[in-house]
Structure 1
Amino acid sequence: MLILGFESSCDETGVALVDAGGTAPPRLLAHALHSQVQMHEAYGGVVPELASRDHVRRVLPLTRQVLTEAERTLAEVDLVAFTRGPGLAGALLVGSAAASALALALNRPVVGVHHLEGHLLSPFLSTDPPEFPFVALLVSGGHTQLMRVDGVGRYELLGETIDDAAGEAFDKSAKLLGLGYPGGPALARLAEFGDAQAFKLPRPLLHSGDLDFSFSGLKTAVRVQLGKLGSNVCEQGRADLAASTQAAIVDVLVAKSMAALKASGLRRLVVAGGVGANLRLRALLDEKCARRGVRVHYPELALCTDNGAMIALAAAMRVQAGLARPQAAGAFDVLPRWPLAELC
């Protein structure tokens, strides 16, 4: 079964083709991605209307590119999948409309996929795919969650952020430091030249006894430190503050992940979402998990950010699990706010 997947939830247009034939693990045949970072950089963040218009321009050329690279034709596609939510309403509608139109023209089923489930399952496309059950650390954009995953569609929320997510803490701290958009990767790059011990920043809820997160206080602490440094802060001071900020975020993510593994009794951890590409996070998790005899799995770096491959994969795994629910032809509805807990 060939599944064509579309991702358009925010500022990246992704298209991919996955082969989910028989009982074999789904296989990525080709994928293409266009990032809108350069367009939104001038505004310091995503402009929803511009994002939607750019998705319209990119989705069909990327589809042709993927089919060419996979040496397949539209007629060979068996199912079309798209990101149904959560995300920006206008951006989601572009992917939904494109997927629904193609499915209708081809007389094929169309399936709406939960964006976070795509991230959650994306490590299954890596060279070291996980096995169920596992604990998942989901760190994508405005979401930071710990989940127990017993199978496709079998998710138990263990803990989540009560205010800012880890990605937001990276981005907002980067903005305070005067770094460009997107802020998270820029802060991580600057942190490479800094001393992570230079500033004593808080680790919110580190010893709370539960698995919830909170990062809004960290952002405030960064602002306070910048105020103390003054407007003429040197480049080394900015690098030290970036490194200290990254260390604070990563320390909390790692500690909570280890606590979730202990509480669940599981010995396998999956990390997914854009923050999962952070090299300090990966290094510290690798170290801690190795000491405890825990296997840790990540998506390939190219698949950490939003992409069509994870959407096609999630649809493929739902089909194999008998959970796929095709939508009515032409009913391209989207769910900009769609809690993962509502997904079965």
Structure 2
Amino acid sequence: MNVLGIESSCDETGVALVTSDGTSVPRLLAHALHSQIDMHQAYGGVVPELASRDHIRRVLPLTRQVMAKAGLGLDAVDLVAFTRGPGLAGALLVGAGVACALAAALDKPTLGVHHLEGHLLSPFLSADPPEFPFVALLVSGGHTQLMHVAGVGDYEMLGETIDDAAGEAFDKSAKLLGLGYPGGPALSRMAAYGDPTAFALPRPLLHNGNLDFSFAGLKTAVLTQVRKLGSNVCEQDRANLAASTQAAIVEVLVKKSMRALKEAGAQRLVVAGGVGANSELRAQLNAACQKARVRVHYPELDLCTDNGAMIAMAAAMRLQSGRATPSRDYAFDVRPRWPLQSND
């Protein structure tokens, strides 16, 4: 079965083709991605209306590109999957509408996919795919969650953010430091030249005994330091504050992840989402997991951000596990707010 996946939940338009024989791990045939970063930089963040309009422009050319890369025609598509939620409502509607229209034209079924499940299963696209069960650390722009994953669709929440997610902490701190959009990568680049011990920043909820996260207090602490440094702050102080901010976020993520592995009795950790591409986070998780003698798995770096491959993979794995029923109704809806545990 060949599954075409369309992702349009926020500021990336992604299309991919995955093939599945029904027994082994589905295989990626081709994918293409367009990022809207350049368009949104002028506004310092994502403008939903502009994002939706750009998805409309990009999705069909990307689909043609993917099919050409795979060396197949649209008649080879057996199922069209799309991101149903969560995300920006207008952006989601573009992907859902195109997917259902295309499927109707091809007389093929459709399947709406949970965006976070796509991230959760994206490491199965890598050269070193995980095995069930595992603990998953989902760290994206708007989500920070720890979950125990027994199988496809079998997810238990272990802990989640109660305010700002890790990605938001990176982005908001970067903005306070006067860095560009997207802030997370910019802050990480500057942190490479700084001293992570220069500023004593808080590690919220690190010692509270549970697996929840809170990064709003860290953002406030960064704001306080920025005000203390004043408008004539030197580049080294900015780099030091960036490094200290990254160190605080990474320490919380690593220690909570290791605690989750211990409490769940799991031997595998999966890290997914855009923040999972952070090199310092990967280095510290690798070291901690090696010390604890557990395996850690990541998506390939080019599949950490939102992409169509993870949507096609999640759809194929749901079908393969009997957890989903494709539809030929073509009357679609989207769910901008959609808890992963209620995925149906």
TM-score band (shorter)?
Answer: over 0.9
* Matched ranges for 1:152-301 at <5 A: 152-301=152-301
| RMSD over equivalenced CA pairs, Å | 0.7
What secondary structure, in the 3-state scheme, does the structure 1 residue paired with 2:247 have? helix
The one-letter code sitting in structure 2 at the alignment partner of 1:198 is A
State the shift of 1:329 in Å: 2.4
What secondary structure, in the 3-state scheme, does the structure 1 residue paired with 2:43 have? coil
The one-letter code sitting in structure 1 at the alignment partner of 2:240 is D
Matched residue, 1:2: 2
CA contact (8 A) 2:84 2:333 kept: yes
The total of aligned residue pairs comes to 344
The one-letter code sitting in structure 2 at the alignment partner of 1:130 is P
What secondary structure, in the 3-state scheme, does the structure 2 residue paired with 1:231 have? coil
The one-letter code sitting in structure 2 at the alignment partner of 1:92 is L
State the shift of 1:15 in Å: 0.1
Matched residue, 2:13: 13
Matched residues in 2 for 1:328 and 1:223: separation? Answer: 52
Matched residue, 1:29: 29
Matched residue, 1:39: 39
Matched residues in 2 for 1:242 and 1:314: separation? Answer: 35
CA contact (8 A) 1:117 1:340 kept: yes
Matched residues in 1 for 2:330 and 2:320: separation? Answer: 24
Matched residues in 1 for 2:26 and 2:253: separation? Answer: 30
CA contact (8 A) 1:112 1:327 kept: no
What secondary structure, in the 3-state scheme, does the structure 2 residue paired with 1:167 have? helix
Matched residue, 1:329: 329
Deviations 1:106-139 (A, max 9, x none): 1111000000000000000001100000000000
The one-letter code sitting in structure 2 at the alignment partner of 1:159 is G
CA contact (8 A) 1:103 1:329 kept: no
CA contact (8 A) 2:111 2:315 kept: yes
Matched residue, 1:86: 86
TM-score by length of 2: 0.99
Matched residues in 1 for 2:211 and 2:188: separation? Answer: 25
Matched residues in 2 for 1:22 and 1:48: separation? Answer: 38
Matched residue, 1:146: 146
CA contact (8 A) 2:108 2:328 kept: no
Identity %: 76
What secondary structure, in the 3-state scheme, does the structure 1 residue paired with 2:259 have? helix
CA contact (8 A) 1:152 1:321 kept: yes
The one-letter code sitting in structure 2 at the alignment partner of 1:32 is A
Matched residues in 1 for 2:56 and 2:204: separation? Answer: 41
What secondary structure, in the 3-state scheme, does the structure 2 residue paired with 1:42 have? helix
Deviations 1:268-293 (A, max 9, x none): 10000000000000000000000010
Q: What runs of 5+ residues in structure 1 fail to find an aligned partner?
A: none
Matched residues in 2 for 1:337 and 1:22: separation? Answer: 31
State the shift of 1:328 in Å: 4.4
In the TM superposition, structure 1's runs of 4+ consecutive aligned residues that sit over 6 Å from their partners are: none
Q: What runs of 5+ residues in structure 2 fail to find an aligned partner?
A: none
Deviations 1:33-72 (A, max 9, x none): 0000000000000000000000000000000000000001
TM-score by length of 1: 0.99
